[in-house]
Amino acid sequence: MASAVAAAQMAEWDSPEQIGLWSDAWMRFRRNRLAVVGLVIVILLLIDAFTAPLLVHLGVIIDPIKQDVAHIEVGPGGFGHLLGTDELGRDTLSRLMYGARISLTIGILVQGIIFVIGGTIGLTAGYVGGRVDNLLMRFTDIWYAFPDLIFVLVLVSVFGPSLLSIFGAIGIVNWVNLARLVRGQVLSIKEKEYVEAARATGTPPLRIVLRHLVPNALGPIIVTLTFGIPQAIFLEATLSFIGVGIQPPTPTWGQMVNDGYQAVYANPSSVVFPALAIGLTMLAFTFIGDGLRDALDPRMRR
Amino acid sequence: MACATRSIPGCGAEPLVTSGRPELSDALLQVKGLHTQFPTSRGLVRAVDGVDLEVRSGEVLGVVGESGCGKTMTALSILRLLPDPGRITAGQILFRGRDVTAMSPEQVRDFRGNEVAMIFQDPMTSLNPVTKVGSQIEEAMTAHSKFSQQIAKERVLELLTRVRVPSAERRAQDYPHQFSGGMRQRAMIAMGLSNEPALLIADEPTTALDVTVQAQIIDLLKRLNTEMGAAIMLITHNMALVASLCDRVVVMYAGRVVEEGPVEQIFSSPQHPYTWSLLRSVPRVDQARRERLVSIEGLPPDLSRLPGGCKFHPRCPFVEARCREEEPPLAEVASAQKARCWVLMRTLGDNPQDRIEPSAARATLLSAGEADGAVG
């Protein structure tokens, strides 16, 4: 009996579980129920965004720019419109489903711009240090001092309200936080002993950056970018709401709220549903961000 | 040949460009008059203040001294890994005749790992937590062009086996957090040896490990030294480690070498009062407790405000007038043994501790209560 226990223990010592860092993180992520709910919502939204045109083509949903002039501002369920129609007789459900395309594209792709700009500036400042660091960080401070919305408004009105200029504008406004985060991470990681050990074995600087600094800073970066998604979605909705976002007739959630709110008492559904969509999407990404933060925290690593 | 009659330092200072000339000693690494300084707001910190030392090929050299006497800074200077704002302000570091202080950054990068490797004190933090152990060792090799990618892969297993990591093949796929402290230090040693350096600098390699693991690591270092022929510069304040592993020992104090020589000679007849005090502060099992374990009173000097004369004089029990005025040179005191002292222990008779009665009496007084408690 005792020997069996000892043998089992020996076996345990001999072969610790073979778990990679990412599968380990995934295990911890899965334990967070809200995060999983968020992930499911986001996956559904993504499926919706990819398949919306196909569904229109197959006749499952109505074309979002087709006007049903006989049924303007009908409530949910009326005349074949599951969520009603807006003031031009367009189907709210299909516009909502199309709107997800814009929101998700902006939300996610803007993070790419933020990652490139913020990551490069933060990494350079943190790794090179000294005068370069000072210069880049003061530049970041100045950038930070501009009010976001006004800055975006200026950029969009200069370059015109195209999808590309809105991408650019939101990205250019929001890289500051990531740059600061990356710099801080790099400053602490580059003093770690394993970086010194790598330098002591003659590892070239670029390789130290790519193999040691970036992978170790990746967790917090992913979390920040995930939290950045709802922010970008909200900023895009705000732009659409005030009329400088994506131009009609392309349906976006912000625009739908804008179109609907004038008749909010007569036809609340055309405001409530897009507002819910924005809220739910933001919440879903925030839950995911929370889950990732816990899952990728190096202190939680076993 | 004219050199043979002259003093060796004069000879070594000559450029070693003429090929075919027989080497005067089999010195692998020669550090000459090394000064490393840190300009800080509190003033200039002289971390290394004129160190001369030599590591011969294949030997194990112990570098001992209290914390903050420049051991680690000397090692980091050799690899040009000084943290900011540290600078080598004077001196030469000759590795196989090439001056490390004059190398370009590119040359230094190639020198590190390839010719001199270093292992650090804390194996828990010396490995990148997000990279597999095997690929970290592999990377140390592919950073240089000594081994091809394919051979590097194969060598990882060979090295892990050599440092006695069980089931190396599977362990190479593990992340550092799956390794115990002793295993990580083995992996660090494997990484250090991966490019077959001629010199391995081990900076307190066992301090962070528990005692049984320490013994294994020491054993491993000893075996690697004989098997692979790599010289080891062992930085430590553990006298037992020096006695069991080293061929020669260098004692450092306040950024300079105060005594050096073969291990047996230093342990049996230390000439510098600092070395003598260090040895007296180590408990010994092989001798009856004839004398009380003594600590060296005071602290090492502030390296930004060094005392005049001999740097040890404020703490030295045998201090003389001359010690306060003039710093002694590192002079030969016996064959192969040098010490930086005006007094020298051998001039103090057989029982030098009797001469420090007042202070010893105070030490007795201070520790009497404690000792009684321990015995009772």
Taking the Cβ of residue B85 and every Cβ of chain A, the question of whether any pair is shorter than 8 Å is answered with no
> SS3 for B31?
strand
* Contact with chain B for residue A147, Cβ under 8 A: no
- Partner-chain residue, chosen from A21, A207, A302, that has the shortest CB–CB distance to B143: A207
> Under a CB-based contact definition with an 8 Å cutoff, are residues A285 and A107 in contact?
yes
Inter-chain residue contact A302 with B177, CB threshold 8 Å: yes
Does B170 contact chain A (CB < 8 Å)?
Answer: yes
Q: Is the pLDDT of residue B6 over 60?
A: no
Q: What pLDDT is stored for residue A9 in this prediction?
A: 44
For B17-33, what is each residue's pLDDT tens digit?
433 333 445 788 999 99
For the segment B221-257, what is each residue's pLDDT rounded down to a tens digit? 888 888 888 899 999 888 888 888 899 999 999 999 9
pLDDT in tens, B157-198: 988 888 888 888 888 888 888 888 888 888 888 888 888 888
Task: Tell me the chain A residues in contact with residue B113 when contact means C-beta distances shorter than 8 Å.
Answer: 200-203
- Judge contact between A153 and A170, C-beta under 8 A: no
Q: Does A206 touch chain B (CB under 8 A)?
A: no
Contact B139 A194 (CB under 8 A): no
Architecture label for domain B24-253: 3-Layer(aba) Sandwich (3.40)
Pairs of residues, one from chain A and one from chain B, whose beta carbons lie less than 8 Å apart:
88
B111 touches chain A (CB under 8 A): yes
Question: What pLDDT digit, counting tens, does each position of B276-328 carry?
Answer: 888 888 776 666 656 666 777 778 888 888 888 888 888 888 888 888 888 89
Residues of chain B with C-beta less than 8 angstroms from the C-beta of A187: none
Task: Tell me how close the Cα of A290 comes to any Cα of chain B, in angstroms.
Answer: 21
Residue B125 contacts A where some CB pair is shorter than 8 Å? yes
- Quick one: closest CA in A to B83, which residue? A191
**pLDDT attached to residue A16:** 45
Residue by residue, pLDDT tens for chain A (302 residues) are 444 444 444 444 444 455 566 777 888 888 888 999 999 999 998 998 888 888 877 877 777 777 777 777 777 776 777 777 777 777 888 888 888 888 888 888 899 999 999 999 999 999 888 899 999 999 999 988 888 888 888 888 888 878 888 888 888 888 999 999 999 999 988 888 889 888 888 888 888 888 888 888 888 888 888 888 888 888 888 888 888 878 777 888 888 888 888 877 878 888 888 888 888 998 998 898 888 888 877 555 54
- List the structure tokens of A64: 């979002």
Q: What residue ranges do the domains of chain B occupy?
A: 24-253, 272-284+293-375
Q: How far is A211 from chain B (nearest CA, A)?
A: 8
Chain B positions in Cβ-Cβ contact with residue A216 (cut-off 8 Å) = 128-130
Closest-approach residue (CA) in chain A for B127: A194
Strands B199-203 and B231-235 come out as parallel
Q: Which domains does chain A have, with CATH numbers?
A: 21-65+78-300 (1.10.3720.10)
Contacts of A16 in chain B (CB under 8 A): 174, 178
Q: What distance in Å separates residue A36's CA from the closest CA in chain B?
A: 25
A183: enclosing H helix or E strand: helix A163-189
Cis bond leading into A249, ω under 30°? yes
Question: For position B345, what pLDDT does the model report?
Answer: 84
- Is some CB atom of chain A closer than 8 A to the CB atom of B340? no
CA distance A272 to A278: 10
**Which of A154, A152, A156, A157 is CA-nearest to residue A165?**
A156
Q: List the single residue in B125, B140, B175 with the smallest CB-CB distance to A192.
A: B125
B-contacting residues in A 210-239 (Cβ below 8 Å)? 211-212, 215-216, 218
Q: Do A197 and B111 count as a contact with CB atoms less than 8 A apart?
A: no
B81 touches chain A (CB under 8 A): yes
In angstroms, the first-to-last Cα distance of chain B is 67
The reply to whether residue A200 touches residue B79, judged by beta carbons under 8 angstroms, is: yes
**Any long-range contacts for B205-208 (C-beta under 8 Å, 24+ apart)?**
B205/B119, B205/B120, B205/B121, B205/B234, B206/B236, B206/B238, B206/B241, B207/B121, B207/B122, B207/B236, B207/B238, B208/B121, B208/B122, B208/B123, B208/B124, B208/B181
Pick from A16, A201, A207: CB nearest B191: A201
Go through A158-193 and write b for each residue having 16 or more CB atoms within 10 A of its CB, e for each that does not. eeebebebbbbbbbbbbbbbbbbbbbebbeebbebb
* pTM of structure: 0.73
Taking a C-beta distance cutoff of 8 angstroms, is the pair B139, B194 a contact? Answer: no
Nearest CB neighbour to A211, from listed B114, B131, B188: B131
Cβ of residue A12 closer than 8 Å to a chain B Cβ: no
Q: State which residue of chain B sits closest to A215, comparing Cα positions.
A: B130
Q: Which segments within chain B are labelled E, that is strand? A: 27-40, 43-56, 60-64, 87-95, 98-99, 116-119, 199-203, 231-235, 248-253, 256-262, 331-334, 337-339
